[in-house]
Copies of this chain bind each other. A is one copy, B any other.
Amino acid sequence: MSTANILIVEDELVTRNMLKSVFEAEGYNVLEANDGDQMQQIIKENSNINLIIMDINLPGKNGLLLARELRENQNIALIFLTGRDNEVDKILGLEIGADDYITKPFNPRELTIRIRNLLTRTMQENLYFEEVREKVENYKFNGWTLEIDSRSLISPNGDLFKLPRSEFRAILHFIENPGKIQTRAELLLKMTGRELKAHDRTVDVTIRRIRKHFESIPEAPEIIATIHGEGYRFCGQIE
């Protein structure tokens, strides 16, 4: 199983390095280009690129056309980086048909999830990467502990549940955004990198599965509350 090759086209060194380190931490192989010309060069020399992630403002007309061709003729995924939302129109206007757009500033974890999904769709490759966390710190709330390393939930009595990935991510997201209402769209994105479509009950089902863990201790208060018409909200007392 070969790792994916990602080409970053971005002139800002800071951004490029950040992207690079994120991707390398995920085990991808990273190539870099400063502008459209370099991009062309690199593509010529490397036939095995799986994904290009490029700043929308950079590569010039030729670069964009090249990207479009690559996307259509070969099996290369294409993601644009944009500075602000209004630039999304710009992308649409170009009619290039990117696979995804990401607005700066971006969240590394979200980015990696999206990329992984995209690559799984594009390549048959089954890469599974654990996530990289800077601060590995466990969270405690209402007597429960969320253990980051082992991705598990420990009840007040010490019973341990290994959490599936999406349940874990949902809880983590809740805890890292305490008190705020989280929409289904937001939760689904954090859990799977997907976008919410109508009639998708995935989030509800996952919430249900999470709640079941807490039921193991019946006296437990309502940890995840439903906000009708809006989403869910974590009500635990985080220590």
A contacts, CB < 8 Å to B: 1, 24-28, 88-89, 92, 95, 97, 103, 107, 109-110, 113-114, 117, 136, 149-151, 162, 164-165, 179-181, 197-199, 225, 227-230, 233, 235
Contacts of A165 in B (CB 8 A): 228-230
Contacts of A109 in B (CB 8 A): 97
Contacts of A230 in B (CB 8 A): 151, 165
Q: A27-B198, A165-B229 are in contact. List 11 more A-B contacts (CB 8 A).
A: A26-B198, A27-B199, A88-B113, A92-B114, A95-B103, A97-B107, A136-B180, A150-B179, A150-B225, A151-B230, A162-B228
Rounded to whole Å, the gap between the CB of A107 and the closest CB of chain B is 5
Q: Please state the number of chain copies in the assembly.
A: 2
Contacts of A225 in B (CB 8 A): 150
The 30 sampled A-B contact pairs (Cβ below 8 Å) are A1-B229, A24-B198, A25-B197, A25-B198, A26-B197, A26-B198, A27-B198, A28-B198, A88-B113, A89-B117, A92-B110, A92-B114, A95-B103, A95-B110, A97-B107, A97-B109, A97-B110, A136-B179, A136-B180, A149-B179, A149-B180, A149-B181, A150-B179, A150-B225, A150-B233, A150-B235, A151-B227, A162-B228, A165-B228, A165-B230
Bound CA–CA A119/B228 (angstroms): 23
Rounded to whole Å, the gap between the CB of A87 and the closest CB of chain B is 13
Name the residue on B nearest A3 (C-beta): B198
Contacts of A150 in B (CB 8 A): 179, 225, 227, 233, 235
Name the residue on B nearest A111 (C-beta): B92
Contacts of A181 in B (CB 8 A): 149, 151
Contacts of A180 in B (CB 8 A): 136, 149
